[in-house]
Structures are given as C-alpha cells and as structure tokens.
A and B are shown apart, each in its own frame.
Chain A
Amino acid sequence: KNQVEQSPQSLIILEGKNCTLQCNYTVSPFSNLRWYKQDTGRGPVSLTIMTFSENTKSNGRYTATLDADTKQSSLHITASQLSDSASYICVVSSDRGSTLGRLYFGRGTQLTVWP
C-alpha cells in the first residue's frame, strides 16, 4: 500500500534553533518528493522538490535530503524564525507510467517556533 508517514507529528523549538523533520514513504514507482509549507488556514506552498537522483537540495534556510534506497526524506530548518511556525507536508508523486500518477500526502508535522 502506498503511504507517506511523517514524524514527529508536532514539534516545538526555540527561535534560532535548528530542527529536522522526517518523511518515510512506501510509494512505488517513485517519481519525486516535495515538501510543502502550510501556514495556518492558508494553502500549502512548495518548498523543494527531490527527484530520484538528487540527495540534497537547499532553499534558503531549508535543506531537504532524499535517500531513495531507504525511502526516507528529511527537511532541515536552520536558524529557525517565528515565521517558520507552520505545518510541513511531505508529498510523494508516483511515476508517470502508473495508472493515475497519483500524489500521496503525509499528514504533516506541525512546527511551532517560540521566541
């Protein structure tokens, strides 16, 4: 069964600290993995996309990693800011050759940054 599991479910950190969010998936065949940031009551916004051949990709203070062998991804946030408080959603895309080319959503990690 194609699934995306994220951990932790929620996380509280102090402003300026770093944190790492995890995403494990069983989606096959794999096409790509995206991390989205969703502010409360707002629509998700894409942060990064990882394809099969990519191990690391950065977007400012956000760095995503992908281990396609173990089917794990992480999102590392450095020097956290209050504005980083949001839900971070891992979305895995199945290969274009599959019947539907479906997207599989994790339930998200709720990050709260305290001053």
Chain B
Amino acid sequence: DSGVTQTPKHLITATGQRVTLRCSPRSGDLSVYWYQQSLDQGLQFLIQYYNGEERAKGNILERFSAQQFPDLHSELNLSSLELGDSALYFCASSLESEPGELFFGEGSRLTVL
C-alpha cells in the first residue's frame, strides 16, 4: 500500500460528459502528480501541484483541469469526454516540489462509451 488513495477505481461514462477523479496523497507529501496511461502506452505526465500551487504542466488537454486543495488532496476534472480519453489515470505524490521517489495510487480506470 503506497498510502496514495484514488477514487473512483472504475468509472464508465458517455461521450460529452464530465467526470472528476480524486486523489489523496501520502500523509506529509506536498506534491501531487497526475498521469494518463492509455492501453499499451507509457505514462503521460499531465500536471503537478505543490502545496496548492500548479508546479509543472505536461500534455494536459484544455478540456482537462486540476486543482489541489488546502488539505492537499487533488482533483482532476475531465470534461467534454471523448472515446480517446478512456485510460487509466494515476495520481502520485512526493514529499518535495522537485521529483524524488513517486508513490503511485492504484489508478482510476475511465471508460468512455
């Protein structure tokens, strides 16, 4: 158990809809990272937050947004969903702003029909 909690574990929705994925980092970790992993693809970095502030942005679509709250949990919002958004979405946390060891959650599997 990495200590990182993601909900929901599975989500099935339709095209055009909006979903929110939630992540609680390990106790004491200030950084949260979001990654997308499509079928048979590598992990694609989406965005990082550190202590409530956006720290780094990767290949995140404009339809996607994220935030980190004062209690350090984070949410990833995906809107106007398309079939191609079906993927595993991982949250990871680390203690510092610069990436050290990442502790990954178990992922949220999103299926868009």
Seen from chain A, the residues whose Cβ lies within 8 Å of a Cβ on chain B are 34, 41-46, 49, 89, 91, 93, 96, 100-103, 105-108
Q: Which of B90-108 contact A (CB under 8 A)?
A: 90, 92, 97-102, 104-107
Q: A34-B101, A49-B101 are in contact. Are A43 and B107 (CB under 8 A)?
A: yes
Contact residue among A34, A100, A102, A105 (Cβ-Cβ distance under 8 Å from B43): A105
Interchain CB contact under 8 A, A43 and B105: yes
Q: How far is the CA of A59 from the CA of B44 in the complex (A)?
A: 27
Q: How many residues of B contact A (CB 8 A)?
A: 23
When A and B form their complex, which 10 residue pairs have the shortest distance between CB atoms, in order from nearest?
A43-B104, A107-B42, A101-B98, A103-B99, A100-B56, A105-B43, A96-B98, A44-B104, A46-B101, A43-B106
For this complex, 30 residue pairs linking A to B, each with C-beta atoms less than 8 Å apart, are A41-B88, A41-B109, A42-B106, A42-B107, A43-B2, A43-B4, A43-B92, A43-B106, A44-B43, A44-B102, A44-B104, A45-B104, A46-B102, A49-B101, A89-B43, A91-B102, A93-B99, A96-B98, A100-B55, A100-B56, A102-B56, A103-B45, A103-B99, A103-B102, A105-B42, A105-B43, A105-B44, A105-B45, A107-B41, A107-B42
The minimal Cβ–Cβ distance linking B64 to chain A, given in whole angstroms, is 18
Select from chain B the residue with minimum beta-carbon distance to A91.
B102
Q: Which residues of B contact A (CB under 8 A)?
A: 2, 4, 41-45, 55-56, 88, 90, 92, 97-102, 104-107, 109
